[in-house]
Structures are given as C-alpha cells and as structure tokens.
Amino acid sequence: MPDYLLYMKKFLSRKIVKGIFSLAIIGSALPEIYQDFAYGHQGEWTHYGMALVGVLYFVESILWVLDIWEN
C-alpha cells in the first residue's frame, strides 16, 4: 500500500476528524428542517412532505455517523 494511503487512513481514523465529519453530516440536515417549519412552502405554514424529507435526512445522517464510528 502506498505511503499516502496509509497516512490518509491514519488521518481519517482520528477521533477529532470523525467528530468534525459527524457534526458536518448531521448539521447539514438541520437548515432544511428549520426552513420548512419557519417559512413554509408557497404561502402555507409548512409543507409536511418536505419536512418529512428533512427529518428522514437527519435520521439517515445519524445512522451514517454511527456506521463511521463503528468502523
């Protein structure tokens, strides 16, 4: 295995890198959920279909983070 791949693997296995990546993944779902509840869709208070997509994206993000930390 080339040296740069070993360095990259060592770098990615650090807890601080996993923590930053985890926050980025989970944080990316929050603005969509907030926007749906705060501003709604086409004059309505909220568009529940898009809110559901935001919540499901948030759950997917959490599961993805758990998988990353398991490995």
Q: pLDDT tens across 39-71, in order? A: 766 656 556 666 677 777 888 888 888 887 776
Contact status, residue 52 vs residue 32, Cβ threshold 8 Å: no
Q: To the nearest whole percent, how much of the chain has pLDDT over 70?
A: 77
Report the pLDDT value the prediction gives residue 49, as an integer from 0 to 100.
67
- Would you state the structure tokens that stand for residue 44, as one six-digit string? 């309505």
pLDDT category of residue 30 using cuts at 50, 70 and 90: confident
Handedness of CA 43, 44, 49, 55 (dihedral sign): positive
Residue spans of the domains in the chain: they are 23-71
* The model scores a pTM over 0.75: no
12-31: burial string, b at 16+ Cβ within 10 Å, e else: eeeeeeeeeebeebeeebee
Give CA–CA dist 27/29, Å, rounded: 5
